[in-house]
Chains A and B, each alone.
Chain A
Amino acid sequence: MSQTRTIMIECLRYDPEQDQAPHYRTYEVPFTDEMSVLEGLQYIKDHLDGSLTFRWSCRMAICGSCGCMVNHQPILSCQSFLRDYYPARIRVEPLEHFPIVKDLVIDQSDFLGKLESVTPYLVPAQPLTPEDGPNLQTPRQIEDYLGYAQCINCLLCYAACPQYGLNNEFTGPAALALLARYNADSRDAGQKTRMEVVNAEEGVWGCTLVGLCSEVCPKHVDPARAINRNKINSTQDYFLRFLAPFGRGS
């Protein structure tokens, strides 16, 4: 058992039904070396202030629900340790660029709509039934999309993206990376439906390759790469439609 120290956690508090504006409250939290920021928040909720609201579930960087800003950096609170911030105090805020529901809980509806817009599922070339048997892939074919498939929808990339912050019409990193994930899957034939999203101003062209999304992604999805590879596809599509105008989208 490691020794207990005390860290100051400054938390953004906001209840839209009661408060005029967000404000901060500081808590003194005893912690041991193995305690994560999430466990610090849980300590506050259990022992200091039961009204503090935040999301979490898996505690192991899988569910993607515990994302928040710690000292202005988007992180998974279950994956960051209090010992790494001590002796400085830490400031915990909800993920940037999203409306606050309460305290550290943000409203994800904007992202969910965007996710839906990229047709985030396999679209088979012909309808398949269980009788058709398994849809086999080679290890090489799996490799083509596996990296992008690691996304846990934690939204750290949206909190990091200055373009999404300036204009939230932008489809954004995770949704565009998932778009690339399904396009890259050998079992999928839905590229054409997704191309309209890619080609739009709010699609890949909303990105200016800042690259912070890929830096903060806890799952190494590399959305910046996914988006910028699709800029090449979108450019080809833009010019090639003049050569083969029939049967291509607008």
Chain B
Amino acid sequence: MRTRSHEPIVWSLFGAGGVFAALLGTMLVLIIGILVPMGLGFGPDAMHYDTLRSLFGHPLPALGLAVVISLFLFHGAHRIYHTLHDLGIPASKKIMLACYGSAAAGSGAALLLAGMLVVF
């Protein structure tokens, strides 16, 4: 009898993170890195602190931000976990905890900050 792998849990988070990274990541680079600094299509205040602060003061954008950050973190953690194995550092509970644990901690922090943005 083979034991079932629990990888589907982290693999789904990894996959979701990958999709977001490919879709949102490139969009963000385009907007923040190119369009806004060049003044194309966005007003001069688009990236201003007050604009963003009021945007993420609403629960939905704040939650969305936290979710995206969390999925990015899980995507990275999963890659690092497997890359370490490829580099000859065998997969172990400790490494698993370090990788996915830090992604989980980062996700917690992102959620907490998102909550603070909404409340305060």
A238 contact from B8, B82, B88, Cβ within 8 A? B8
Contacts of B8 in A (CB 8 A): 231, 234-235, 238-239
- Interface presence of B3 (CB below 8 A): yes
How many interface residues does B have (CB within 8 Å)?
A: 15
Q: Which of B1-35 contact A (CB under 8 A)?
A: 1-9, 11-12
- Judging by beta carbons under 8 Å apart, are B3 and A200 in contact? yes
Contacts of A71 in B (CB 8 A): none
- Judging by beta carbons under 8 Å apart, are A235 and B12 in contact? yes
- Interface presence of B85 (CB below 8 A): yes
Bin the interface of chain A by size. Answer: 10 to 19
- The interface centre, meaning the residue of A162, A166, A197, A201 with most chain B CB atoms within 10 A of its CB, is A201
**What is the CB-to-nearest-CB distance from A213 to chain B, in angstroms, rounded to a whole number?**
15
**Given contact pairs A235-B11, A235-B12, A200 touches B5 in the complex (Cβ within 8 A):** yes
- Judging by beta carbons under 8 Å apart, are A250 and B4 in contact? yes
- Judging by beta carbons under 8 Å apart, are B2 and A162 in contact? no
Contacts of A239 in B (CB 8 A): 8, 12
- Judging by beta carbons under 8 Å apart, are A208 and B11 in contact? no
Nearest residue, chain B, Cβ from A234:
B8
**What is the CB-to-nearest-CB distance from B42 to chain A, in angstroms, rounded to a whole number?**
37
- Interface presence of B50 (CB below 8 A): no
- Judging by beta carbons under 8 Å apart, are A200 and B2 in contact? yes
- Interface presence of A205 (CB below 8 A): yes
**Given contact pairs A162-B86, A166-B86, A208-B86, A197 touches B2 in the complex (Cβ within 8 A):** yes
Q: List 30 A-B contacts (CB under 8 A).
A: A162-B86, A166-B85, A166-B86, A197-B2, A199-B2, A199-B4, A199-B5, A200-B2, A200-B3, A200-B5, A201-B2, A201-B7, A202-B2, A203-B2, A203-B5, A205-B5, A205-B11, A208-B82, A208-B85, A208-B86, A231-B8, A234-B5, A235-B11, A235-B12, A238-B4, A238-B6, A238-B8, A239-B8, A239-B12, A250-B4
A-B complex: 3 closest residue pairs judged by Cβ atoms: A238-B8, A200-B2, A235-B8
